[in-house]
């Protein structure tokens, strides 16, 4: 079995180790915190506080409204360009992480709102095909918001939402589907769909493919153009480290963007900044060219500044092997965690629900505990090992290779072993449910 000394040695030889300094982890280290929840909220980049402070004090405080146009007006820490260019600049940086070309993605709103927009586009395209099929296919275990949004828009447009188990998707496609909507990495189990294979199967059945990249962008290799996907959305505050509630992103394949431009298609939340000439302030709406039509209202500058800092922590991995190196370490971290839990916590009711096959696993490891999942996680958090719980029985541990170390994995499992063997998790204090789990 792997020893702690061996984990320390692996960290010393880790090519990504220098990237940990990009994050404000010193306070967590001093408190003995082991952070394994970057799949829910990424850690704070060290550059973010100063960058946001500069936006407040310099760009807003000094530049005032002039900062929409003028770069670096406020001081040395101000942005590279005016505010109006910040969203497109970040979108192009994210594009490099998801296999997209410049100009093919936009940063705006939340994942939920963007999903509503792209599903609307996919449904409009499906209708133009003259096909009588009006089915959106997804998993019953997909993230609830995705299902709520899909159900709502399906009802509005005469479609129906069909939910199946992951292994039933191919069989359902044979029956006829207009749109397949899946999250690349399942939020509870960490199961990862094989994007190229699923997209190919959807297209073979005549369906459009919509991907939610919330739990994969920045953690695993994603190639939207290479796999010929149709639409995608994703989150800015998980592996992209953009901060709580960071803006999300949306993407559409160039063939669909061309159709939208030709048909002058407008997304259902048409806002002033998505207008072809937003500062003409005309009463009639004309959608902007390309993906700009997916923009709604005024972008949040403080949040965008923080998001850019987060995205840059991933771009900084390029000299060290980029997303391929991140993925390689992710596999090593999750492999180690799974092996240690199963060897050191055997007999305590923990059941692995994350796939063992690495091609089917995201950057997390989840274990079920039938009687005390929530309590076990609360006991761990009290010890400084921060993961999270997902109903009804999942302990979820996320691994962010930019700052998670092998020794963190070893120490986290040592705490878990103590929590389980002593029965500490059964203390009444850990049975009190917080509002956020």
Tokens (6 digits) for 341? 């839990």
Query: Who's near 182: CB < 8 A, 6+ residues apart?
Result: 138, 139, 142, 169, 193, 198, 209, 210, 211, 212
Omega of the bond leading into 221 within 30 degrees of 0 (cis): no
CA distance 86 to 80: 8
Q: How far apart are CA 37 and CA 386, in angstroms?
A: 6
Query: Around 46, how many Cα atoms within 13 Å sit in the side-chain half-sphere?
Result: 12
First to last CA, the chain: 32
Strands 160-164 and 248-252: unpaired
CA 288 to chain CA centroid, nearest Å? 27
Residue 44 and residue 24 in contact, taking contact as beta carbons nearer than 8 Å: yes
Helix (H/G/I), strand (E/B), else coil: 385 = strand
Catalytic, 238? Answer: yes
Annotated catalytic residue within 237, 239, 337, 403 = 237
The DSSP secondary-structure symbol of 23 reads B
Is residue 429 among the annotated active site residues? no
Find out whether 62 and 48 touch, Cβ atoms under 8 Å. no
Given 212, 388, 393, 408, which residue is catalytic?
212
Q: Catalytic residue among 35, 116, 143, 406, which? A: 143
Geometric angle at alpha carbon 153, from 232 and 198, rounded to 5°: 35
- Cα gap 208→199, rounded to integer Å: 8
**What is the three-state SS of 210-278?**
EEECCCCCCCCCCCCCCCCCCEEEECCCCCCCCCCCCCEEEEECHHHHHHHHHHCCCCCCCCHHHECCH
Of 128, 129, 126, whose CA–CA distance to 137 is shortest?
Answer: 126
Examine the residue annotation and report whether 29 is marked as an active-site residue of this protein: no
Alpha-carbon dihedral sign for residues 143, 149, 152, 156: negative
Question: Looking at 238, 266, 327, 390, which residue is catalytic?
Answer: 238
**Alpha-carbon gap, residue 14 to 181, rounded angstroms:** 37
Residue 212: active-site member? yes
Residue 237: active-site member: yes
Pick the catalytic residue from 117, 361, 396, 405: 396
Q: Is 146 helix (H, G, I), strand (E, B) or coil?
A: helix
Which active-site residues does the annotation give?
A: 143, 212, 237-238, 396
């Amino acid at each position: 079995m792997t020893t702690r000394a061996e984990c320390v040695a692996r960290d010393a030889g880790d090519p990504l180790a220098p990237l940990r300094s990009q994050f404000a982890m010193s306070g967590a280290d001093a408190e003995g915190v082991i952070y394994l929840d970057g799949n829910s909220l990424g850690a704070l980049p060290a550059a973010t506080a100063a960058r946001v402070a500069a936006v407040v004090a310099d760009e807003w405080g000094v530049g005032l409204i002039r900062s929409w146009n003028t770069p670096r007006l406020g001081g040395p820490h101000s942005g590279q360009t005016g505010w109006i260019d910040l969203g497109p600049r970040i979108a192009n940086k994210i594009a490099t992480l998801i296999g997209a070309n410049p100009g093919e993605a936009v940063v705006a709103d939340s994942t939920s709102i963007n999903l509503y927009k792209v599903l609307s586009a996919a449904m409009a395209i499906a209708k133009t095909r003259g096909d009588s099929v009006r089915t959106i296919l997804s998993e019953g275990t997909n993230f609830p918001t995705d299902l709520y949004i899909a159900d709502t828009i399906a009802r509005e447009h005469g479609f129906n939402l069909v939910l199946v188990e992951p292994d039933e998707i191919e069989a359902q496609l044979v029956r006829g589907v207009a749109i397949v909507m899946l999250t690349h990495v399942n939020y509870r189990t960490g199961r990862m769909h094989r994007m190229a294979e699923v997209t190919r199967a959807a297209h073979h059945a005549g369906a459009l493919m919509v991907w939610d990249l919330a739990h994969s962008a920045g953690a695993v290799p994603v190639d939207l153009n290479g796999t010929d996907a149709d639409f995608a959305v994703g989150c800015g505050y998980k592996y992209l480290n953009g901060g709580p509630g960071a803006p999300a992103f949306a993407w559409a394949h160039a063939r669909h963007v061309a159709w939208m431009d030709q048909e002058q298609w407008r997304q259902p939340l048409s806002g002033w900044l998505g207008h072809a000439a937003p500062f003409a302030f005309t009463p009639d709406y004309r959608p902007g060219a390309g993906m700009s039509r997916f923009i709604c209202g005024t972008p949040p500058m403080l949040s965008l500044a923080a998001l850019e800092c987060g995205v840059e922590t991933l771009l900084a991995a390029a000299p060290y092997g980029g997303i391929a190196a991140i993925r390689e370490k992710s596999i090593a971290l999750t492999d180690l965690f799974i092996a240690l839990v199963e060897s050191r916590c055997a007999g305590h009711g923990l059941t692995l629900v994350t796939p063992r096959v690495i091609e089917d696993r995201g950057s997390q490891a989840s274990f079920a505990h039938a009687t005390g999942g929530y309590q076990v996680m609360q006991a761990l958090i009290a010890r400084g090992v921060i993961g999270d719980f997902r109903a009804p029985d999942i302990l979820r541990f996320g691994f962010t290779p930019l700052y998670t170390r092998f020794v963190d994995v070893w120490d986290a499992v040592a705490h878990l072993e103590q929590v389980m063997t002593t029965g500490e998790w059964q203390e009444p204090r850990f049975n009190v449910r917080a509002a956020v789990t």
